[in-house]
């Protein structure tokens, strides 16, 4: 795969680049945010790895600018700022994943591979709808009857998954795998907790519990 790496720490960039090449990827490199944006705007990459703090242009502005240009290439942000707020800010800027430094190369590679396995957004609908609810997958915005709804990244991912699987029963196992990437039962109420928060934000008339099976979504007037 064709990966663009934008990172100003030479040693780290060389280490990441070498590892990705050894795993069969083609890597192009920029050491500044502005040159990275230029390459990304003009090029066709399968994935970008972008450091947050960069000379020329910071990583988040780079990602926002790319999204505004309509570029949907998956972006993994690297950052020394690993706090929850920083991660949320990164994801809200349009990044697909966020990896705090320092990291093990194995973890970077696992996340890169997970992002590359996702079908490109361009082949899927960008706007998901259910009744008067709309989810914009590119701008990462949700509205109901035109009013903006603020969701945490995991709630957004959960809603996105539900909307992509309308008209079917969505099991807890599907949600754990599809939204959390858990292929085991974490023995917690993680799904129920997030579902309850999501319902309280988008309205409880859209997400229905199917007793003993899971969940299903349908528009309030689509019962017939």
Residues contributing to the site for Ca ion (CB under 5 A): 8, 51, 53
Q: Which backbone phi and psi does 140 adopt, to 5 degrees?
A: 55, 50
User: Least distance to Ca ion from the beta carbon of 107, Å?
Assistant: 18
Nearer to Ca ion, 78 or 162 (CB): 78
User: Least distance to Ca ion from the beta carbon of 165, Å?
Assistant: 39
Nearer to Ca ion, 52 or 140 (CB): 52
Residues 6+ apart with CB under 8 A from 49: 3, 4, 5, 6, 7, 16, 75, 76, 78, 108, 112
Which residue in the shown chain puts its C-beta closest to Ca ion? 53
User: Least distance to Ca ion from the beta carbon of 60, Å?
Assistant: 12
Nearer to Ca ion, 6 or 198 (CB): 6
Nearer to Ca ion, 10 or 205 (CB): 10
User: Least distance to Ca ion from the beta carbon of 47, Å?
Assistant: 19
Closest CA relative to residue 20, chosen from 139, 113, 122: 113
Task: Find the farthest-apart pair of alpha carbons in the chain and give their distance in angstroms, rounded.
Answer: 62
Per-residue b or e along 207-217, where b marks 16 or more CB atoms closer than 10 Å to that residue's CB:
beeeeeebbbb
């Amino acid at each position: 795969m064709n990966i663009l790496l934008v990172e100003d720490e030479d040693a780290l960039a060389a280490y990441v680049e070498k590892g990705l090449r050894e795993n069969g990827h083609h890597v192009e490199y920029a050491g500044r945010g502005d040159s990275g944006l230029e390459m990304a705007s003009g090029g066709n990459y399968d994935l970008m790895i972008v450091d947050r703090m960069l000379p020329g242009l910071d990583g988040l502005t780079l990602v926002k600018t790319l999204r505004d240009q309509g570029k949907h290439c998956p972006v993994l942000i690297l950052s020394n700022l690993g706090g929850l707020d920083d991660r949320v800010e990164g994801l809200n800027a349009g990044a697909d994943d966020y990896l705090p430094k320092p990291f093990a190369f194995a973890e970077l590679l696992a996340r890169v591979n997970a992002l590359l396995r996702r079908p490109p957004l361009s082949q899927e609908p960008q706007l998901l709808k259910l009744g008067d609810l709309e989810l914009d997958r590119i701008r990462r915005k949700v509205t109901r009857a035109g009013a903006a709804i603020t969701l945490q990244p995991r709630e957004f991912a959960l809603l996105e998954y539900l909307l992509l699987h309308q008209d079917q029963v969505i099991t807890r196992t599907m949600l754990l795998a599809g939204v959390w990437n858990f292929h085991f039962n974490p023995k917690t109420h993680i799904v129920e907790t997030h579902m309850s928060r999501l319902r309280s934000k988008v309205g409880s008339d859209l997400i229905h519990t199917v007793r003993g099976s899971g969940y299903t979504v349908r528009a309030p007037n689509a019962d017939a």
